[in-house]
Amino acid sequence: MEKLMQYVWQHRLLRPGAMSTVDGRGVQIVDPGLLNEGSGPDFFNAKVRIDGDMWVGNVEIHVRASDWMRHGHHRDRAYDSVILHVVYHDDMPVKRPDGNVIPQMVMPVRTNFADHYNALVTRAERDLPCREFIGSLPPLYLTDWLSALGIERLHAKSARITGLLKRYNNDWREAVYVTLARALGFGTNSEPFERLAMATPYGFLARHADSELTVEAMLFGQSGLLDGIPLDSRYALALTREYEFMQKKFGLRPVTSPGWKSGRMRPQNFPHRRVALLAHMVRRLPQLMSRIVEAEDVDSLRQLFDVTLSGYWATHYTFSERGVVSDGSRERQALSASSVTVLLINVAIPLMHAWGEHHRDNRMMDRCIAILQDLKPENNRITAMFEAAGIKCRDAFTSQALIELRREYCEARKCLYCRIGHRMLASKAT
């Protein structure tokens, strides 16, 4: 309730004529102040007119006036500068340490406002809470919000890469490697893939990039996918022996309880084939970043992920003889067109954007948005949810915006911070 009251105060969702102190003096918000996310009063540097007199200072908000004493504010000098105490229930007056009574106002909010808000956020976990409302929004209002969300998501992905650069002392190769590995998990196995990459430094793999067997052995061994495999093929035996040697050479510690998932998954997407694909791409990783930076359009980026698997993994999707590719092809396309699109969205474009930020290249960052707008939209549960509500998904930039909206606002129950939720709630506040 207190967060809701802060929201109402911050956005001035109060009827001007309905605001007065408990002793009958009129209140006017000139400036609500700056919301404080840390310790101390809720709003700093607010400006309030009380009976025509200007007051400048801090504002504290409580559900009950007695919370002032309960929270120990009467003993905290940080609250000496509070000029107005805003409450929902006026159950006692509050005073400063010098004995002066602090002006107190009961927030005049409609009784059903909290109920409306609670219903909204409760529904958000399982459904689109604004389903009936979102289609009636002015197109420009919605477009502006989705544009901001698309940029917000791109910046978040770029920030993740920046975090990796800090972790690896600005080694772009390691950052590219971990980003690529995580993306190859395609959500279901993203965490195991990231843990695998962090447990198997790229620097170790790079020393043996000329040997496909060695790179595969290190990644499969570290992943735990070699544990208990039948040694009835020359390939499996060679991998096991090579990993044992490399493990001793580099002091490698395999990932504990990696948590690989393969249920309800097409054989081509099994973690074994994805690890083999990672090994293949790791061997040409130094060229990957430079080609991403140089790419000017979607087609140039797609070529980077046009990969085929040959040898053992052209005909297998596990180490078991039951895991044989049915068509017997000696060479298979490793990624479908839709999977390549996912990698462009989650690897190539975020890396390009992070590079642009690092080198202060605004043109490159603008190029990222343009490429997303040229890509077909993702087709998943989230985009289908918004389509059912009447929101058309034109391109990948829009689908990314909708994913950001759903995951970071709806599922996080942050309706108060969503422009759509704000518009809905503002009409119910007073």
What are the pLDDT digits (tens) for 289-337? 999 999 989 999 999 998 888 888 988 888 876 667 655 444 467 888 9
Cα–Cα distance, 396 to 383 (Å, whole number): 10
Q: How far apart are CA 292 and CA 161, in angstroms?
A: 15
Shared domain check, 319 and 172? yes
351: in domain: no
**If we measure between CA atoms, which residue out of 393, 353, 349 comes closest to residue 371?**
349
pLDDT tens per residue, range 416-429: 889 998 888 776 65
Strand 34-35 and strand 43-50: the pairing is antiparallel
Residues 66 and 179 in one domain: no
Q: Which residue shows structure tokens 């518009």?
A: 423
Q: Is the sign of the CA dihedral 400, 305, 219, 324 positive or negative?
A: positive
Q: Is residue 340 part of a domain?
A: no
Residues 100 and 207 placed together within one structural domain of the fold: no
In the structure encoding, which two tokens stand for residue 336, read together? 């479908």
Query: Does a structural domain hold residue 82?
Result: yes
Residues 97 and 221 in one domain: no
How big is the CA angle at 266 (ends 260 and 269), to the nearest 5 degrees?
55
| 74 belongs to a structural domain | yes
331 phi/psi in degrees, rounded to 5: -155, 125
Question: Is residue 188 one of the residues assigned to a domain?
Answer: yes
pLDDT at residue number 92? 94
Based on the fold, state whether residues 95 and 6 are members of the same structural domain: yes
Choose the final residue of a domain: 86, 109, 132. 109
Please check whether residues 242 and 330 belong to one and the same domain.
yes
The residue with tokens 């043109």 is 363
Question: Which tokens in the block code for residue 130?
Answer: 């604004």
The whole model's pTM is what? 0.81
CA dist list (Å): 266 to 196, 273, 287, 334, 388: 22, 11, 30, 13, 27
The per-residue pLDDT of the chain, averaged, comes to 90
Other CB atoms within 10 A of residue 120 CB: 21
Torsion sign across C-alpha atoms 177, 180, 184, 188: positive
What secondary structure does DSSP assign to 341-386, as a single string?
HHHIIIIIHHHHHHHHHHTT-HHHHHHHHHHHHHSPPP-SHHHHHH
> Are 70 and 182 found together in one domain?
no
Span 13-54, pLDDT tens digits: 887 777 999 999 999 999 999 999 888 999 999 999 999 999
Residue 113 sits at the vertex; the CA angle it makes with 58 and 152, to the nearest 5 degrees, is 70
Query: pLDDT tens, 206-215?
Result: 999 999 999 9
DSSP letter assigned to residue 172: H
Lowest average pLDDT, out of 102-106, 189-193, 309-313, 347-351, goes to 309-313
Residues 215, 299, single domain; the answer is yes
The widest CA-to-CA distance across the chain, in whole angstroms, is 90
Domain boundary among 316, 335, 354: 335
Provide the pLDDT for residue 265: 82
Reference 177, options 280, 304, 282, 275; nearest CA is 282
Give me the number of domains the chain comprises.
Answer: 2
The reply to whether 313 and 192 lie within a common domain is yes
Which residue range(s) make up the domain with 173? Answer: 168-335
In-domain check, residue 290: yes
- Same domain, yes or no, for 96 and 19? yes
Contact predicate 63/109, CB 8 Å? no
Q: Is residue 147 situated within a structural domain?
A: no
Question: Domain check: are 181 and 311 in the same one?
Answer: yes
Check whether residue 177 and residue 101 sit in a common domain: no
**Would you say residue 390 lies in a domain?**
no
Tell me the three state secondary structure of residue 430: coil
Q: In the listed set 335, 364, 380, which residue is the last one of a domain according to the structure?
A: 335
